[in-house]
Every structure is written in C-alpha cells, then in structure tokens.
Amino acid sequence: MAADSRGGPLDLTSKLYQEFTRPQVSLAANGVQPAAPVVVELDPTSFCDLACPECISGSLLNDGRFTAERLTGLAAELVEAGVKAVILIGGGEPLLHSAIGEVITTLHTGGTSIGITTNGTTIHRHVGVLADKVEWTRVSVDAATAETYGKFRPGRGGRNRFAEVIANMELLGSRKSGKLGYSFLVMGRRAEDGTLAETNAGEIAAAAELAKRVGCDYFEVKPEYDMEHYIRGQDPELLDTLSAQLSRLRELEDDGFTVVSPGTLGVLGGADGTAREVKEYTTCPVADLRTLVTSSGAYFCPYHRGNPAARYGDPTTETFSAMWNGERRRRVRDDVRPDRHCRFHCIRHRSNLALFEMREKPGETIPDYDPFL
C-alpha cells in the first residue's frame, strides 16, 4: 500500500537512475552543480483564497506575486535552461495567478513536464489546460465531509468550499489525460489541558472512497508537519484509529486506484511532540537537482522557503540561469549544511544517501518513467 516499489510515487531513489537524467544526476552525485536542475518548484503567487490554521506557509502568504509578463518569461527561461519538470505549487494557490494558463502552455509546448499542487477551488477555470497539458494534479482536501473541511480548510470570510472542490475534482477526473490525486494530511488539535480536541483522522477511509468515486487515480495520506517542517508525532490515542482507517484502504486499491502512505505516518513525536531526523552529511546533492523559485526569491531547497540564509536570487529581476549559475548560489550551496540546518524530516534524505553511494557504485541505468525526482 505504501507504493515504495520501483516506479511507485514514493520510490524517489530509483528515479535517480533513469537514462535521461543520469548526466545531471552523475554531476550532482560527484559534487558538481549541473547547468540546470532537473526539477523546479515554482510558486506563481503567495496569495490564497483559503485560511487554513495549520498552513505550513501561513507566515509567507499574501505577500506578493509575479507579474503576468515576468511569470510567463520565467517559464520560457526554465524551458530554455533544460529543466525537465516544473511543479506549480505554493506558497499561495498557484491557480489563482492570472497567467497560469499561459505558463502551463509555455512549459508543455517546450517539452517540460508539469505537476500542480492545488486547493482545487478554481480548477473549473483552467480545466482545459489541466486536463490536456499537466502530468499530475494533486488536490489538498484533508477531509471527507463539509463539516470537517470547514474546520481544517476554512475559506477566507468563513465560506465553506468543500462542495466546489469535490465538484471540480469530478470535472477534471472526467476529462484528464494525466493523474489526479486526493491529498489527506492527518491533523489533530489539542485543548488547553493537552488532550486531543479535534482531528480529521476518522475520515481517512471515507475520503479515500470519495477520491475513488470522483475519478482520482490515487489517494495520498500523510502526517502533519509544523512550521519548521518537523513531523508532528502522532498522538498515541490516535494510533488505533489510524490503524483501523488504513486497513480499510487496502480494499479500495485496484489497477486504476492506488493508496500512497509513507512510513512516517505512524511516527511518534519526542518530548516536544515532533520527530527529528539526524543527518551526518554536510552537503546536499539533491539541491543540485531540485530548487525553489518564488516571487520573494529563489531558494536552495523547498524546505527552506522564506529562509534568508538559503535565498540565492531575485527572480523578479534576474533570469533563472543568472541566479542558478551565480556567485550567491555557490555561497548558499556551501553554507546550508544538512547536518546543522536540516534536522527535520526530508523526503529526499534517502535520495542523498543514494547519490553519495553513486560516487563509488554508479549503478545501472533504467528506462525513463518519471522526471519528478
């Protein structure tokens, strides 16, 4: 059920061995920055139409966006640089940007694969380009009912958007050529006395059933992170609920529907309620293969979104290639150390270990199947 086998969505290390990315991967494995990353995460805007209390980017929201001209120009620069895949994400809600359709078309025409993470409220406005030109669309829902959705994903002004989001997913599900996913973040809130007051964990199975019914290709359930990207360890009293809910998911899987759940879902927190991931290496070769570009700056890694120490350029005034190949990125590349600055859970920690191993054992190349390393 965790889909960790070769080719599965969580099998990030096997993706490193694909034929078309091996030149860049080999350089990164040996400590050399490639001429361009394989993947760019791009925040078109910091604005969002929801007001989720647990939003990991809450402190960075509603603080700027690219102009339409600059965003479309940036998309063309990514194509020209040879970036293999772009994930439109946030930050804010990417589909709210007025130029998003033109950006998707520019990337698609240039042969760059596109993925989108969205809250789903405006899918209907862009369903044509999403259905025809996007490799995958993942919608963050975190609920199976309007009541729970309203608690954890309230709209600005209190409007409940659950019915609209589900209708939009069903619309895209009926027309898509790429994959459609339903994302469920397991969340819990505590009362002043420390007891668990609210959680959405009891709706996991119902949400997966809904995802399958509206035409999703996969359902992703994952743990909550705090504002510093540390995993919030699950409350012990939730573990039985999680186990019961996850066991029901196995019955839903078939050739057209997959459940994705990472091994970190059942992690228990430490004394402060979070889980640490110690890293013993001092450089991050994955950061030479993936980067983040936002209207507030270009950042060494998506985990360091908004961190001034990890900012290496201003994409509102500089070209992508100038930032990527500039002196500031070289300094940031030396200064950001995983052993000191990345003690949170990193989904690509195992990819880094594999890249270090490639220095001595390059391994066999495998056929291409997924550019989203």
**pLDDT per position as a tens digit, 287-296:** 999 999 999 9
Cα(277)–Cα(267) distance, integer angstroms: 11
Residue 248 lies in a domain: yes
Tokens of 172: 């895209």
**pLDDT per position as a tens digit, 32-42:** 999 999 999 99
pLDDT of 263 strictly over 60? no
CB 175 within 8 Å of CB 127? yes
pLDDT of 275 strictly over 70? no
Q: Name the amino acid, one letter, at 37.
A: P
**pLDDT per position as a tens digit, 235-248:** 677 778 888 898 89
Counted domains in the chain:
1
In this structure, the number of other CB atoms found within 10 A of the CB of residue 272 comes to 11
* Three-state DSSP state, 25: helix
CATH number of the domain within which 302 lies: 3.20.20.70
Residue 368 lies in a domain: no
pTM assigned to the model: 0.92
Residue 214 lies in a domain: yes
**pLDDT per position as a tens digit, 91-101:** 799 999 999 99
Residue 256 lies in a domain: yes
User: In which domain, by residue range, is 283 found?
Assistant: 14-358
Residue 38 lies in a domain: yes
Residue 2 lies in a domain: no
**pLDDT per position as a tens digit, 99-138:** 999 999 999 999 999 999 999 999 999 999 999 999 999 9
CA dihedral 351, 277, 8, 153 (to 10 degrees): -130
The H or E element containing residue 22 is: helix 22-29
Residue 167 lies in a domain: yes
Residue 327 lies in a domain: yes
More confident of the two residues 159 and 108:
108
**pLDDT per position as a tens digit, 170-228:** 999 999 999 999 999 998 887 888 777 899 999 999 999 999 999 999 999 988 765 55
